[in-house]
Amino acid sequence: MKTEFVRIDEARPLSDQMSRAAEIIRRGGLVAFPTETVYGLGGNGLNAEASRAIYAAKGRPSDNPLILHIDEPTKAERYAVTNETYYALARRFMPGPLTVILPKKDIVPDSTTGGLDSVALRCPENPIAHAFLVACDLPIAAPSANLSGKPSPTTAEHVRDDMDGRIEMILDGGPCEIGVESTIVKITDAGVTLLRPGAITAEMLREVVPEVSVDPTVTEKPSEDLRPQAPGMKYRHYAPNAPVFLLCDDGTDDFDARAIRFLSENKRDGAGILCFEEYLPVLAGEKTISLGAKADEKAHAHRLFAALRELDKLPIKAIYATVAKTDGEGLAFYNRMLKASGYHFVRL
Ligand code: TXA
Ligand code: MG
């Protein structure tokens, strides 16, 4: 299959540029598109064949459900059993980087939800994503547009690296603003559970819904008795070719000095380094990528996936990365690094 690469011109009306993409979707084909979080691999979410094609293109296990993308929060009514909590969250956070899990309606095929009786819904804010959804006039099932197990794509080039020849079209809307996937919450009678951290934090959710718990697998290694509620979080994820090891800031005064010493030694031995900007005076060089300033949690999330892909192109045997444990915006970065490393910490 030849993959068409379309650069979006934001100076021209977006709707004019979406008609071919929408045509592909209505025929059951696949189109990758930008969102404010990461690029998505879209297909008609009501068409079981299109969902199966998404799993095949990604090489993804078919028990791992897809998110349905809608152009307007009230369209959730068509696909899910909504409630007050949904509308409270939607009023505050939609469109935006939030995915909500609700009981599904029969119109959504089992192949889209991996056989679950719930469905994940998200209304993205990115104008290109919005124009694409409006033009398709269908709910769009879209996982991140990477090969299963690889870091999520935050540019159209990342999508091309993974998906060239596997899908019909890639819409290039430039780099994604946020850079990590949406916050996922499950709404039940008991309240709201955060299953995957993203740009919308637990604290922000608590301003709208009093009861918000965080699934333990967000910060701890899943085991037999600790199973993630989002099936996708049990797979090895975000993993570059080289093994990743984490240096976690423990809050001690000399952490930075000890980390810099450790990283310098390993850099000399040829490792790739992903570190806070403050370390660059000592560590700058070809195999070092800065995460941004230590306090700039937005920057860490924004740079993470591109950095892992960049390091993947270098001949290195290991990657060492600095992380800090937080409850706020930095939790998304920390959670993805846990998965990229397979929970491997270095003790300094
Ligand atoms: O930001 C995002 O959410 C991006 C963009 C493209 O919108 N999409 C994305 O999709 O990250 P994906 O497929 O890579 O991750 C979806 C996650 C998976 O971990 C999956 O298991 C979980 O959502 N999920 C989907 N439906 C679910 C359901 N009904 N119950 C529990 N977890 C669900
Ligand atoms: Mg994904």
Mean pLDDT, 10 residues at a time, the chain of 348 residues: 96 96 98 98 98 96 93 98 97 98 97 95 98 98 95 97 98 98 94 97 96 94 81 74 94 95 96 97 96 96 96 94 92 95 93
Q: CATH 3.90.870.10 region(s) of the chain?
A: 4-218
The strand pairing partners of 213, in sequence order, are 193
| Homologous superfamily assigned to 4-218 | DHBP synthase (3.90.870.10)
pLDDT of 235 reads: 64
Q: How far is the CA of 123 from the centre of ligand 1 (A)?
A: 13
pLDDT of 226 reads: 77
Q: Evaluate: CB of 193 within 6 angstroms of ligand 1.
A: no
On whether the pTM is more than 0.95, the answer is: yes
Q: Evaluate: CB of 144 within 6 angstroms of ligand 1.
A: yes
Q: How far is the CA of 167 from the centre of ligand 1 (A)?
A: 20
Instruction: Please report where in the chains the tokens 């897809």 appear, as a residue.
Output: 66
pLDDT of 176 reads: 98
Q: CATH 3.40.50.11030 region(s) of the chain?
A: 244-341
pLDDT of 299 reads: 97
Query: Is domain 244-341 classified as CATH 3.40.50.11030?
Result: yes
Q: How far is the CA of 144 from the centre of ligand 2 (A)?
A: 4
Distance CA 332, CA 201 (A): 9
pLDDT of 203 reads: 96
Q: Evaluate: CB of 38 within 6 angstroms of ligand 1.
A: yes
Tokens read off for 176:
């994604």
pLDDT of 327 reads: 85
Mutate to test the pocket of ligand 1, among 60, 81, 99, 194 (most ligand atoms within 8 A of CB): 99
